[in-house]
């Protein structure tokens, strides 16, 4: 069976932990979009890891980890990451890289930096990993597929064509040094050596795996609200964050995705710029940030402090709907145990009208949060394994959120560790 694990919010919902946990019973984990721009934090028997490119299944000997065609593949980052986990005692993971995945080129990273510099204060808050220039080139049909590394003559010709265009921009728009074609070719030959042992026709591999009844997880990055079509455009990422894209970015039929486990965080956090209706500030935000996640809410890739907010019903309900949630994994609930009262954003007031629907960005910018306050449970819920053993106010919070979302909460995460999970009707 194929299951997708995706985010309903702005990312950082704890997808890595849920994937690592479910990967223990899975044969294959596939990354299907995004690149090294966001990270998952995983805590298990080997220690604490921040993964950017590797699928979160790499810690299980029995799991094959796949980089699908939809990923922005940064080859040196991938190889540093493999080495860094092996150096810490994790057995060499079984990795396959799609021959149709495209490569993040050194100039994509430079263009990302130069563009942020050019935009100054109006920047998009990019992580400068080259993701936007990468996807722009992919759809402008001047990207480089892994398979193309194996045809040197073709590669030289393509480099010459691409450099002609890139070097005009470098010289006249950014006033930066031009790309050296020979140097770029040599870099790509290095990349070829690194990637060669892993290259695979992934869609055929997955078609066979599906036929054999293997358990496959599709691991998403970021969340619905960062999707380029359905998110808070233009403050979004450059590839689709939706489960539906899992079919494309892995190369499988859409009807094979039987479960969409949508990860929803018990409060809100966001990195980068963009409208954030339930955002809180000052000491209230600092305290939640300090206590949040595992050791504070700071970006796994950039170390930037995350923006904090109360749970947002319209955003999360919309987030679940666009993912097509069959199951909600409600995460980081333990963090809220310090609060006497827990505000929840139950609607948006826009031009004097209250709605629970999530509007387009221009409307969203006018929205004011409508808050409802629920009583806190004032205790530490880590270590609890049965739903009935949770404090009554904690169960009330979960049931309130579930009812407003309209999707079943079947997993509750009450700590960062692999086993800190409460099953509530989740069918494996």
Active-site residues: which are they?
12, 40
Do residues 125 and 99 make contact, with C-beta atoms less than 8 angstroms apart?
no
Alpha helices in 214-329 (DSSP H): 243-250, 282-291, 313-323
Q: Which is nearer to ligand GDP, 114 or 267 (CB)?
A: 267
Q: Which residues contact 77 (CB under 8 A, 6 or more apart)?
A: 36, 52, 53
Nearer to ligand GDP, 14 or 68 (CB): 14
The rounded radius of gyration (Å) of the Cα atoms in the chain is 22
Angle between helices 392-405 and 313-323 (to 10 degrees): 60
Q: Is the CB of 177 or the CB of 295 nearer to ligand GDP? A: 295
Does 294 bind ligand GDP (CB under 6 A)? Our answer is yes
Nearest to 101 by CA among 160, 35, 188, 155: 35
Containing 16, the helix (H) or strand (E) segment is helix 15-23
Q: Across the strands, what pairs with 98?
A: 200
Applying CB under 6 A, among 415, 418, 424, 426 the residue interacting with ligand GDP is 415
- Site residue total, ligand GDP (CB under 6 A): 24
Shortest CB 383 distance to ligand GDP, Å: 12
Q: One symbol per residue from 247 to 286: x for binding ligand GDP (CB under 6 A), - otherwise; what is it?
A: ----------------------------------------
d(CA 335, CA 322): 27
Contacts with ligand GDP in 321-350 (CB under 6 A)?
A: 331-332, 334-335
Of the residues 293, 309, 343, 369, which one makes contact with ligand GDP according to CB under 6 A: 293
Shortest Cβ distance from residue 221 to ligand GDP (Å)?
A: 7
CB 104 within 8 A of CB 136: no
249-265 burial code (b ≥16 CB/10 A, e <16): bbbbeeebbebbbbbbb
Closest CB to ligand GDP among 316 and 414? 414
414 binds ligand GDP (CB under 6 A): yes
Show contacts with ligand GDP in window 10-69 (CB under 6 A): 11-17, 38-41, 43
Task: Supply the minimum distance, in Å, between the C-beta of residue 297 and ligand GDP.
Answer: 8
How far apart, in whole angstroms, are the C-alpha atoms of residue 424 and residue 412?
8
416 binds ligand GDP (CB under 6 A): yes
**Chain residues that interact with ligand GDP, rule: CB under 6 A:** 7, 11-17, 38-41, 43, 293-294, 300, 331-332, 334-335, 413-416
């Amino acid at each position: 069976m194929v299951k997708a694990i995706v985010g309903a919010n702005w990312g950082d919902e704890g997808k890595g932990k849920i994937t690592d946990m479910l990967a223990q019973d899975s044969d294959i984990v596939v990354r299907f979009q995004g690149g090294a721009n966001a990270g998952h934090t995983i805590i298990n028997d080997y220690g604490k890891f921040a993964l950017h490119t590797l699928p979160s299944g790499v810690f299980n000997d029995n799991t094959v980890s796949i980089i699908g065609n939809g990923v922005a593949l940064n080859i040196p980052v991938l190889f540093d990451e493999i080495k860094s986990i092996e150096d810490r005692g994790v057995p060499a993971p079984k990795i396959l890289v799609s021959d149709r995945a495209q490569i993040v080129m050194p100039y994509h990273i430079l263009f990302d930096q130069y563009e942020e510099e050019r935009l100054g204060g109006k920047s998009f808050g990019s992580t400068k990993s080259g993701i936007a220039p990468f996807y722009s080139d992919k759809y402008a049909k001047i990207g480089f597929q892994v398979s193309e590394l194996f045809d040197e003559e073709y590669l030289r010709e393509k480099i010459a064509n691409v450099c002609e265009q890139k070097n005009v921009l470098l010289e006249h728009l950014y006033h930066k040094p031009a790309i050296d074609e020979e140097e770029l070719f040599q870099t790509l030959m290095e990349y070829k050596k690194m990637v060669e042992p892993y290259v695979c026709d992934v869609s055929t591999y997955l078609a066979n795996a599906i036929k054999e009844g293997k358990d496959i997880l599709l691991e998403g990055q970021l969340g619905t609200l960062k999707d380029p079509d359905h998110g808070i455009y233009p403050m979004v990422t450059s590839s689709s964050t939706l489960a539906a894209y899992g079919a494309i970015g892995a190369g499988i039929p859409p009807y094979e995705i039987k479960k969409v486990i949508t990860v929803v965080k018990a409060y809100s956090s966001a990195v980068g710029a963009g409208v954030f209706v339930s955002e809180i500030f000052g000491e209230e935000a600092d305290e939640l940030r300090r206590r949040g996640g595992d050791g504070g809410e700071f970006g796994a890739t950039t170390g930037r402090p995350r923006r904090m907010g109360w749970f947002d019903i319209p955003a999360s309900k919309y987030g679940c709907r666009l993912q097509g949630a069959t199951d909600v994994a409600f995460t980081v609930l333990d963090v809220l145990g310090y609060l006497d009262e827990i505000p929840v954003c139950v609607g948006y007031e826009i031009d004097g009208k209250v709605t629970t629907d999530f509007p387009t960005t221009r409307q969203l910018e006018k929205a004011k949060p409508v808050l409802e306050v629920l009583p806190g449970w004032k205790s530490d819920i880590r270590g609890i394994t049965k739903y009935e053993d949770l404090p009554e106010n904690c169960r009330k919070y979960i049931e309130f959120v579930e009812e407003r979302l309209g999707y079943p909460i079947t997993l509750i995460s009450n700590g960062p560790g692999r086993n800190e999970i409460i099953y509530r009707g989740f069918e494996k």
